[in-house]
């Protein structure tokens, strides 16, 4: 399989089709915005979405982990859809999280949806993590070397009356915003003004998650 890469501050990451980034030298895997238990969060408000989103998200995460066998996993914030979401985790899913954590370091970075992460989930909790030139935090600030999430970038490419819309990494080589990993996490079009604030000049590249590979397309080419 062809490996697609995203370079941030001269560090090269492998872009996984699932929406994860892998830093080979550090054996570090990053995923963002898992939004676990989003389904049950809506159910509590009367919208009975299928209760399989947590299972679906964790299965994809397990597959990404087994592909790369990372030493460290960073969950880049909004891992849980709301403050009490972790209490609604089924015991099976709780066990699945524990299994994923076995034999590796696990860092939960807190996000706006899950600012108060409990300690009984395994792994460490942090607001941000810096490794070499790279800083991992949930909400993007536009700083150099920053890898963030929060915005759920997606991009749309149109041609001849057809269009494809996919989640994507957004990066200009100095900083990146990761796609949401969660099964029910929606997306924000990269043409939204929120992205222009983070990538100030010369535009940026959208790395779209295709079916078989990641496609790098100029943001200005997307619609």
Partner 1 sequence: MSDCSAARRGGQHPSTKPPSRLTCHGVTRRILKPRAETPALLPERFNAWFAARGWSPRTHQLALLEKAREDRSALLIAPTGAGKTLAGFLPTLVELSLQPIERETSEKKSLVSTGRSVQRSGGLHTLYISPLKALAVDIARNLERPIAEMGLPIKVETRTGDTPVSRRQRQRRYPPDVLLTTPEQLALLLSSDDAPFLFASLKRIVLDELHALVTSKRGDLLSLGLARLWRLAPQMRAIGLSATVAEPDQLARFLVPQPDGKETAADIVVAGGAAPPEVEMLDTRERLPWAGHSARHALPEIYELIKANKTTLVFVNTRSQAEMLFQNLWSMNDDGLAIALHHGSLDVSQRRKVEDAMSAGKLRGVVCTSSLDLGVDWGDVDLVVNIGAPKGSSRLMQRIGRANHRLDEASRAVLVPANRFEVLECHVAIDAIAENAQDTPPLRKGGLDVLAQHVLGCACGEPFLSDDLYAEVRTAAPYADLSRPDFDDVVDFVASGGYALKTYERFARIKQDKEGRWRVANPKVRQSYRMNVGTIVEDDMLKVRLVRSRGGGHGKAGGSTGVIARGGRLLGEIEEAFIEGLSPGDTFVFSGEVVRYETLVEDQVYVSRAHDKDPKVPSYMGGKFPLSTYLAERVRRLLDDARAWRGLPEQVRDWLSLQKDVSSVPAVRELLVESFPRANKHYIVCYPFEGRLAHQTLGMLLTRRLERARARPLGFVANEYAVAIWALGDLSSMIRNGRIDLNALFDPDMLGDDLEAWLAESALMKRTFRNCAIISGLITRRHTGEEKSRRQVLFSTDLVYDVLRKHQADHVLLRAARADAATGLLDLRRLSDMLMRIHGRITHRELDRVSPLAVPVMLEIGRESVYGEAADELLAEAADELVKEAMDRSG
Using rule CB under 8 A, residue 56 touches partner 1: yes
| Residue 144 contacts residue 155 (beta carbons within 8 Å) | no
CB of 124 to partner 1, least distance (A): 29
Who's near 20: CB < 8 A, 6+ residues apart? 29, 30, 31, 61, 64, 68, 181
- Give the binding range for partner 1 (CB under 8 A) out of 53-61, 62-70, 116-124, 127-135: 53-61
- Give the binding range for partner 1 (CB under 8 A) out of 69-77, 128-136, 140-148, 150-158: 150-158
Using rule CB under 8 A, residue 210 touches partner 1: yes
Of the candidates 7, 83, 141, 213, which one interacts with partner 1 according to CB under 8 A? Answer: 213
Who's near 160: CB < 8 A, 6+ residues apart? none
Of the candidates 44, 124, 130, 143, which one interacts with partner 1 according to CB under 8 A? Answer: 44
Q: For residues 223 and 201, give the distance between their C-alpha atoms in angstroms, rounded to a whole number.
A: 18
Using rule CB under 8 A, residue 62 touches partner 1: no
Q: For residues 50 and 81, give the distance between their C-alpha atoms in angstroms, rounded to a whole number.
A: 15
Q: Footprint of partner 1 on this chain (CB under 8 A)?
A: 38, 40, 42-44, 46-53, 55-56, 90, 156-164, 166, 183-187, 190-191, 193, 195-196, 203, 205, 208, 210-213, 215-221, 223
């Amino acid at each position: 399989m062809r490996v697609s890469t995203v370079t941030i501050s001269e560090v090269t990451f492998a872009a996984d089709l699932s929406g994860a980034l892998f830093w080979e030298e550090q054996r570090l895997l990053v995923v963002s915005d898992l939004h676990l238990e989003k389904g049950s969060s809506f159910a509590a408000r009367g919208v009975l979405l299928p209760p399989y989103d947590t299972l679906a998200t964790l299965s994809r995460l397990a597959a990404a982990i087994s592909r790369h066998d990372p030493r460290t996993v960073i969950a880049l914030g909004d891992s849980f859809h709301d403050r009490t979401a972790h209490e609604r985790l089924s015991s099976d899913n709780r066990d699945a999280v524990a299994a994923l954590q076995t034999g590796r370091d696990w860092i939960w970075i807190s996000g706006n949806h899950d600012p108060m992460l409990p300690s009984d989930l395994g792994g460490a909790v942090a607001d941000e993590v810096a490794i070499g030139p790279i800083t991992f935090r949930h909400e993007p600030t536009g700083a150099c070397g920053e890898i963030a999430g929060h915005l759920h970038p997606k991009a749309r490419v149109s041609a001849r009356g057809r269009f494809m819309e996919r989640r994507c990494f957004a990066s200009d080589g100095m900083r990146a915003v990761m796609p949401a990993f969660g099964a029910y996490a929606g997306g924000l079009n990269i043409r939204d003004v929120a992205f222009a604030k983070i990538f100030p000049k010369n535009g940026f590249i959208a790395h779209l998650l295709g079916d078989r590979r990641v496609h790098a397309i100029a943001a200005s080419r997307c619609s």
